Amino acid sequence: MAEATARITAAYEAVGYTVEQAHQTSAYTRLNVTDPATRAQSKVELVAEFLHHDPVESDLGPVLHRDGEVAGKSSALFTRAEVRDAIDVHGLLKVGYTCE
């Protein structure tokens, strides 16, 4: 996590953003990133997760396997339980995703 945090911090700072490390553990980092032009601040969270499936190649580079992404969306619905989580799971069901 420390190496990923350092690389992302360096990338933001290289283009002029200010980065404050708000919280870090071995599996989680929260950064506050500020745009110097507008003073707008964004929260950036890095989370290390154990994947059950290897990433899949796409035109944009490696992405999460579909089943892993669905598991994350379902988990969020039952742990975080925000409206956006229900919308995500509803969307998955609407396009025909099943547990099989």
C-alpha count within 13 angstroms, C-beta hemisphere, residue 38: 5
How far is 72 from 53, CA to CA, in rounded Å? 12
Q: Is the dihedral of CA 90, 77, 75, 43 positive or negative?
A: positive
How far is 71 from 84, CA to CA, in rounded Å? 15
pLDDT at 51: 87
How far is 14 from 17, CA to CA, in rounded Å? 7
pLDDT-based confidence at residue 100 (cuts at 50, 70, 90): confident
pLDDT at 50: 83
* Percent with pLDDT over 90 in the chain: 78
Partners of residue 29 on adjacent β-strands:
24, 46
pLDDT at 84: 94
pLDDT in tens, 43-86: 999 998 888 899 999 999 999 998 988 988 999 999 989 999 99
How far is 50 from 67, CA to CA, in rounded Å? 13
pLDDT at 16: 97
